[in-house]
Amino acid sequence: MDDGRQTLGPAEDKIGRVLERARKDRGLSLEEAERATKIRKRYLAGLEQDDYTVLPDAVYARGFLKTYANFLGLDGDGLSEKLRTRKKPRRERRLSYAAPSSESERPIINPGGVPGAEKRNIPRSTIMTIAIAALVIAALIGALYIVGLSVRSAVVDDARNAERIAAPVKPEPEESGEGSGFRNSEDNPSGALTVGVEVEGAPAWIRVRSDSETVFEEVAQPGFSQTFEARRVVGIRAGDAGAVSVEVNGQDVGALGDPGQVLERDYTLKSAS
């Protein structure tokens, strides 16, 4: 039964010549055929020139040939079968008629090609790059986590050490009930160093060392008054030296420093002389 398709005569060995003549008879360019068939122009040119080495694989060569021939009104099945059974020319001997072994061997169709076509696989190099980046990020997160644990451990150790520091001596009122509230030097044992600290006017951060041990460190409010004892030296550091008054063994030595000044001073028995 004649379906209106043109067939290739026995005397016509050049399939490409038949394709080219059919296209030109229809007044079509290769670009127009490319848009209609979704087959790249260079593949269509290879079919018309009987140069199948430009096509991805022999299996796809027959598929493209069938699609292109049917589009031109030729017998696509007949031409495809003729291509399969005829003796391979020299240019086709490198082609394998086996089915492609992987997705990567599939031909690349023109952009915006056949609807439903599968997307190209992600290159292995891209996958390796993503994997390495993920490992680097994981390593950074791990390092930051370890650093955070170290800092937290150090803070906890500092807090525990602060709790073990001996409680400072509570101030005792003067017998007369007047004055700054410093401890009277007559109540101290002979040869001991007693330093009174009082805060007036504004809050002040204070740290007190008795000999080599820190015995007090906090923000003291106005009205704060406390006495500290040592064998050799009492060191006082204040964030607002002008708000801190000092008394050594019952003798007033005045303010630690100027208002707003951050200052540290050491007091010994000679400081009261």
CATH code reported for the domain at 185-272: 2.60.40
Residue 176: is its pLDDT beyond 70?
no
Give the list of residues 6+ apart from residue 268 with CB closer than 8 angstroms, or none: 193, 232, 233, 234
Query: Within 13 Å of residue 243, how many CA atoms lie on the same side as its CB?
Result: 21
Fold of 15-105: 434 Repressor (Amino-terminal Domain) (1.10.260)
Lowest mean pLDDT among 21-25, 40-44, 66-70, 113-117: 113-117
The pTM of the whole model exceeds 0.75: no
Span 20-49, mean pLDDT? 94
pLDDT in tens, 36-89: 999 999 999 999 998 888 887 777 888 999 999 999 999 989 998 888 887 454
Matching CATH topology for 15-105 and 185-272?
Answer: no
Domain boundaries, the chain: 15-105, 185-272
Span 89-105, mean pLDDT? 44
Residue 184: is its pLDDT beyond 70?
no
